[in-house]
Amino acid sequence: MAASPDPLDAFIVAAAAALGLPLEDSWKPAVKTNLQVTLAHAAVVEEFRLPDDAEPAPVFRA
Amino acid sequence: MARDTGWSTAAEIAEGVSSGALSAASVIDAALARIEALNPKLNAFTAVRADRARARARAIDAAGDRRQMPLAGVPFAVKNLFDIDGVVTVAGSKINRSHPPAARDAPLIARLEAAGAVLVGALNMGEYAYDFTGENVHEGPSRNPHDLNRMSGGSSGGSGSAVGGGLVPLALGSDTNGSIRVPSSFCGIFGLKPTYGRLTRAGTFPFVASLDHLGPFARSARDLALSYDAMQGPDAADPACTDRAPEPVTPLLGRGQDGLRVAVAGGYFRKGAFPEALEAVAGVARALNASDEIDIPEAARARAAAYVITATEGAALHLDRLRSQARDFDPAVRDRLIAGAMVPAALVAKAQIFRRWYRTQVLPLFDRYDAILAPATPCTAPEIGQQTFVLDGVEMPVRPNVGIYTQPISFVGLPVAAVPVPLTPLPVAVQVIAAPWREDVALRIAHALEQMGVAAAPRPALAA
């Protein structure tokens, strides 16, 4: 049985279309690898629980 | 009489020109001759402004107030993301070559020239500063002066190559995640990444507004201090630039390490380092009697958050260019930026929330210590094109790992002096990290290490 398709592949194609970004077939493997690495870093950040009232670093001052 | 200024410090040149022992014209002619002779090997410069530099040198020689110029006659060059009047600000790219030439110099160039320094040209860099190697697909790599087959380090690779190779005693670069400290380490020179917001970024091509810093490279700590002092001051044109009045460091250098408490970063900052990087830190720690080891909490997570913010803000900056000119990017940069554009905004907000929390954990460390030591890079300069290195028997990719020790520090904007330790066969630098707005501490320690003979910019054979 064929492996089920990786949803990230579909996400990349859909995101490129939604953002109006060109995406040639030959670019897809490197884009996917880069996105996987960045999402892995983001997961490391996200798993660290902070309270709901934790503010982001940049604070806008009117 | 002509004097060889090929390896002179900026301070020595300025003293000579101020006193009349040297003419600025002769210093600049000699620098231009070195660039002509050595740049074909180093590929550090992408533009040379010989006529402008000679005219400026003549004006300095004719000036009656050279004693008021702390950098009189000192040649310097800038990473090619700085605006130079009449030059296109290419920022390492092919795409920006179609931009009109800049209409004026970036403020930091103007401030250095007001102090008597003389701009001689623009320097090679990794495309749009998204780089740790010093390689550039459009211009070719800038090369390491200690071994031309090795990386200069990125993304301010030309700055490292030009100063380490003796072409100029002073250069400017930018540092978002390590792009001043990495080339300083690989090329064996001193570099200063000031506090986030200390030096105006106006008139430079950005990368990641949340993390971008500018700063100097030199072959002595005093030269870093002299140039840094000349560049300080508010600037409304950079919204992140501080309103603090200049806080000159040069007069404080002589205080040395006296009274300063120094610790060594352990944990994360000891993992993944080659023996030479740890040897350099150990040597510096011994010289400073720094025996305490401390943990910078959640440094690995800080690096991860810096990675996310970099990828996404970089993508935002280049989104239109990715749509219209994707084929004109360095393919490696393009693919990273396209991926960055696809990262959900919720994850970026998380990274910025983590950033503020991390700051609350890091700043109290400076209640107990004035400075913290850490490696600048995990290794000495890899070979150009090298994709992996083997550490403890494990093959690791080079590019993403070069900045592992610099990213958690710039993430919260701490000032750092990168201090070169002249190991054989290749140098490597140590980060001297201080509390926000305490560049004086980092530079005093850098100067003290130089006086002790522990830190030095080694002169490569090609510059002799």
On whether residue B277 sits in a domain, the answer given is: yes
Please compute the mean of the pLDDT values over residues B60-80 and round it to a whole number. Answer: 96
Instruction: Report the pLDDT value the prediction gives residue B1, as an integer from 0 to 100.
Output: 43
On whether residue B154 sits in a domain, the answer given is: yes
Contact A54 B359 (CB under 8 A): no
On whether residue B212 sits in a domain, the answer given is: yes
DSSP string, B64-94: S-GGG-TTTT-EEEEETTB-BTTB---TT-S
**pLDDT tens for each residue of B27-36:** 999 999 999 9
- Nearest-Cα distance to chain A for B140, in Å, is 22
Contact B323 A22 (CB under 8 A): yes
**Residue B392: other Cβ atoms inside 10 A:** 8
Return the structure tokens found at A51.
Answer: 């309270």
pLDDT > 90 fraction of chain B, expressed in percent and rounded: 95
Confidence of residue B2 (pLDDT cuts 50, 70, 90): low
Q: What's the domain count of chain B?
A: 1
The maximal CA–CA distance of chain A, rounded, in angstroms, is: 59
Report how far residue B132's alpha carbon sits from residue B12's, in angstroms, rounded to the nearest whole number. Answer: 31
Chain A residues contacting B, CB < 8 Å?
11-12, 15-16, 19-23, 27, 30-32, 34-35, 37-39, 41-42, 44-46, 48, 50, 54-58
On whether residue B458 sits in a domain, the answer given is: no
Element (H, E) at B147: strand B147-151
In this predicted complex, what is the ipTM? 0.95
Report how far residue B21's alpha carbon sits from residue B302's, in angstroms, rounded to the nearest whole number. Answer: 50
**pLDDT tens for each residue of B301-343:** 999 999 999 999 999 999 999 999 999 999 999 999 999 999 9
On whether residue B461 sits in a domain, the answer given is: no
- The domain of B267 spans 10-300+354-452
Distances (CA, A) of B213 to A32, B107, B129, B425: 30, 14, 12, 31
On whether residue B209 sits in a domain, the answer given is: yes
On whether residue B437 sits in a domain, the answer given is: yes
**pLDDT tens for each residue of A1-29:** 667 889 999 999 999 999 999 999 999 99
On whether residue B5 sits in a domain, the answer given is: no
Contact B347 A45 (CB under 8 A): yes
B417 three-class SS: strand
Contact B151, B144 (CB under 8 A): yes
Q: What is the pTM of this model?
A: 0.97
Where residue B171 sits, what CATH number does that domain have?
3.90.1300.10
What is the C-alpha radius of gyration for chain B, rounded to an integer number of angstroms? 20
Contact A56 B298 (CB under 8 A): no
Report how far residue B309's alpha carbon sits from residue B355's, in angstroms, rounded to the nearest whole number. Answer: 10
